[in-house]
Chain A
Amino acid sequence: MSSVIIDLYKKLPKESFELLIHNLSVREYLKDIWRYYELTGNLEYLKEFDGIFEELFRFFFRPFEIVMFNERVIRSIIPIQEILFGREIVDAYTDFLESLISHMRLTFQLFSEPISSPKLPVDKFLDDWRDLLKKFEVGGGILLRDYPFALPENAKNYLLDCFSYWKDFVESYESYKKLIRNTYNRAVEKLLELSRSPGFGSFEKFMESFQDALSGEFDSLLRSEEYLELQGKLMNTLFDHIYCLRRFLELLIENNPASPFATVSQIDEAYKRILDLKRKVSELENRIEKLEVEICSRKSEK
C-alpha cells in the first residue's frame, strides 16, 4: 500500500493527490459515524466530525499555509542574524554604538542632576525597540535586537510595517477560523436534526444529506458580507506583510556594497524595460513593413 501511495504522490497533481487522501480519511470517519447511527438509531456530535473538519477545511487555510511555509524557507535561506553577527564591520559598529551610548550617558550625567535621572533617550529607545521585537517574537536576532541604527533608511519602516501587518493578519485569521468552524458546526447540527426525522435509510443517503447540509451553509457563507470582508482583510494584511518583508530584505541587500546579489525588484525593473523595448521594436517593425508596402505600391504605380 505504501509504495502505491508514494507512486501516486509522484504521479498525480499535488492538489489532486492531497484531495484524494483526505477524502479517504473522510470516508473512514463517515463510515464510523454511520456505524454508530446504525447501532444506536441515533446521531450525536461525535469526535469523527472534528476529524472531518480537520481533513477537509485545511484547504480554506492553504493559501496562508503556503505563505507561511515560503516565509520560513526565506528565513532559512537568509539567516540574517547569523550572517551579520560574525562580520567585522558589524562588530566595529557594535563597538562604536556602545562607546557612543557610554559617551552620551557620561555627558548626560555631567550635565544633569540628580544622577538617578530617567534613562537616556537612546537607552529608552533600545528598550522599547527590544520590547517591540519581543512582541513580534523576533527574539535572538542580534541585528534586529541590537542594531536598529544600522538598518538602511527605509528598511526600518518596512520592518515595522511588516510586524504590524502580521499582527493584523493573525487577528483576522483567528476570526476567519472561527467563522469557518461555526459554519461547519451549523451544518453538522442540521445533519443531526435530519437524523432524528426522517432519518437516512442508507449510507449513500446519509452521505448525500451531509453534503447537502454543508453546501447549504457554505454557499451562504461564501457570499456573506462578513466572509467577504474578512477574506479581503486577510489577503490584504498577508500580502502587505509579504511585500514589506521582501522590501526589508531587499533593502538590506541593495544597501550593502559588498552584496553580490541583485534583488527581485531590481530584476523586475530590468524585465519591465526589456518588455517596453520589445513593444517599441515590434511597433517599429510594423511601421517599416507598412512603409515597404507603400513604397512597393508606389513603384508599381510608376
Chain B
Amino acid sequence: MLEKIREVNVKPWTCDFEVVHEDWLFKLLHFKGERKHRIPLLFVYAFINRPYILDLHEDVSVVRKLIKEGVDVWMVDWGYPKRADRFLKIEDYIDYIDFCVELIRKECKVESLTIHGYCLGSTLATIYAALHPEKVKNLVIQTPPLNFDTENALALWAKHIDPQRITRAVGNVSGEMLNIAFLLIDPIRLVLGKYQGLIDNLEDPRFLKEFYSMDFWIFDSPAVAGNVFEEYIDRWYHKNEIMNGKYTVGGKVVDLNRITMPVLALYAEKDHITPPSAVLPFLEKIPSKDKKAMSVDKGHIGLTVSKSSHAKLWNEAIKWIVERSD
C-alpha cells in the first residue's frame, strides 16, 4: 500500500539561479531569464520555512511565471540559523535587504525596484520600504502579518508566551518546535484530516507528488534565531509596534506614512496564520494612492501553491507587477 510513496521524487527549485552573494548565513539568489522589463523584483522571504515554496514545482511556480513575463527575479535566502546566529537581530535582516537592494540597483542600473515580501518577509519588506521608500518602486506583500493584534489561534498563543524564557533556555527556537506548534494550531485538519486524505490517495502518483512536495517543504524548517524570536513575539505580537508606529530599526522609527509607493496585498480568506485582519487595517492606514488587495478563498499556503490561485490570482498579480515594471 505504501510502495508508491517510496517512488515519489521530490526536488524543489525548478528554475535555475546563481548565488550572487553570501554573507555567513544569508544569500542573494539571481534567477536566470530574459529581462524584458526595466524594474527588477526582489523576493524577501520569511525567516520561517524555506523560500522554494515560490518555486515548488513547475505547475505552481510563482518564480517561473514572473520569469516567463520577463521580470528579472532576485531572492533573499535567510538560511538555517545555528547557535552562532542566536544574537542576530531583525535589524541585521533589514541591513541585508538594503545590501541586496544596493547591489541590484548597481547591477541593473535602476534607482528602485519591486520588493515582494512573503509572510514574515512581507513584514521585513514593509519595514524596509518605510525606511527607504526612495529605493522601492513597488511593494508586494503576500499573506503579510502586519497587524499582529488579531484573534486567530496563532496570535492568541503568541500573546500568551514569554519569548525571553524560551530563548534563555534553548537559544534558538528550533524548526522542530515550530513544526509542532504550527501543527497544533489547527490539529484536526493538519494532524488527522490531511493524512486521512493521503491514505485515500495512496495509489495516485500525481497526488503523492504534490502532497510530498508540500510536506517536504512544510517540515524543512530552519530555526529562528533567539533574538529575532524575542523581537518577533514581544515587539510585533505583544506590542504590535509596527502598526502603532513604535517600531524602530537602528534608532529610526518605521513610519508607515512613508509607504507612498504602489502596494499590492495578496491575502487568503481562510488563512489561519495571517488572517485578512492581519493586513486590511494596514492597507487602510498607509497613504499610498495606488494600493490594491487581491484575495483567494484558500489558506495561508494554498494562496501560493493551489492551482486555482495560479489560474486566477497569480495571473492578475503578475499583470499588476508587470504594468509597474517599466
A2 CB to nearest chain B CB (Å):
11
State which of B5, B181, B194 has its C-beta within 8 Å of the C-beta of A12.
Answer: B5
Q: Given A27-B199, A215-B189, A264-B83 in contact, is the A223-B88 Cβ separation under 8 Å?
A: no
Q: Which residues of A contact B19 (CB under 8 A)?
A: none
Q: Are B161 and A235 in contact, CB atoms less than 8 angstroms apart? A: yes
Closest CB in chain A relative to B171 CB, distance in Å: 7
Sampled A-B contacts (18; CB under 8 Å): A13-B215, A15-B219, A23-B198, A59-B180, A59-B183, A60-B187, A66-B177, A211-B196, A218-B187, A228-B156, A229-B160, A231-B157, A236-B162, A240-B169, A243-B169, A264-B83, A271-B86, A278-B24
Chain B contacts for A243, CB-based, 8 A: 165, 168-169
A70 CB, min distance to chain B CBs, angstroms: 9
A228-B160 contact, Cβ under 8 Å, with A4-B6, A215-B188: yes
User: Do the beta carbons of B215 and A12 come within 8 Å of each other?
Assistant: yes
Known: A56-B187, A222-B157. 11 other contacts (CB 8 A): A12-B5, A13-B215, A13-B219, A15-B179, A19-B195, A20-B2, A22-B195, A228-B156, A229-B160, A272-B86, A274-B84
Q: Which residue of A lies closest to B168 (CB)?
A: A243
Number of interface residues of A (CB under 8 A): 54
The answer to whether B166 has its CB under 8 Å from any CB of chain A is: yes
Give the residues in chain A near B170, CB-CB below 8 Å: 239, 242
Known contacts A215-B188, A232-B161: does B195 contact A267 (CB below 8 Å)?
Answer: no
Closest to A273 in B: B87
Contact B199 A239 (CB under 8 A): no
- A residues contacting B by CB (< 8 A) are 1, 4-5, 7-8, 11-16, 19-20, 22-24, 26-27, 56, 59-60, 62-63, 66, 207, 211, 214-215, 218-219, 222-223, 228-229, 231-232, 235-236, 239-240, 242-243, 246, 264, 267-268, 271-272, 274-276, 278-279, 282
| 7 tightest Cβ-Cβ pairs between the two chains A and B | A13-B219, A23-B195, A239-B169, A243-B169, A242-B169, A215-B188, A232-B160
Known: A24-B199, A236-B165, A282-B95. A13 touches B216 (CB 8 A): yes
B20 in the interface, Cβ–Cβ < 8 Å?
Answer: no
Cα–Cα, bound, A207→B156 (Å): 29
Could you tell me the distance in whole angstroms from the C-beta of A38 to the nearest C-beta in chain B? Answer: 19
Q: How many residues of B contact A (CB 8 A)?
A: 51
* List of A residues within 8 angstroms of B157 by Cβ: 222, 228, 231
- Does B203 make an interface contact (CB < 8 A)? no
CB-defined contacts of B162 to chain A, threshold 8 Å: 232, 235-236
Complex Cα spacing A60 to B88, Å: 30
Which of chain B's residues have a CB closer than 8 A to the CB of A264? 83, 171
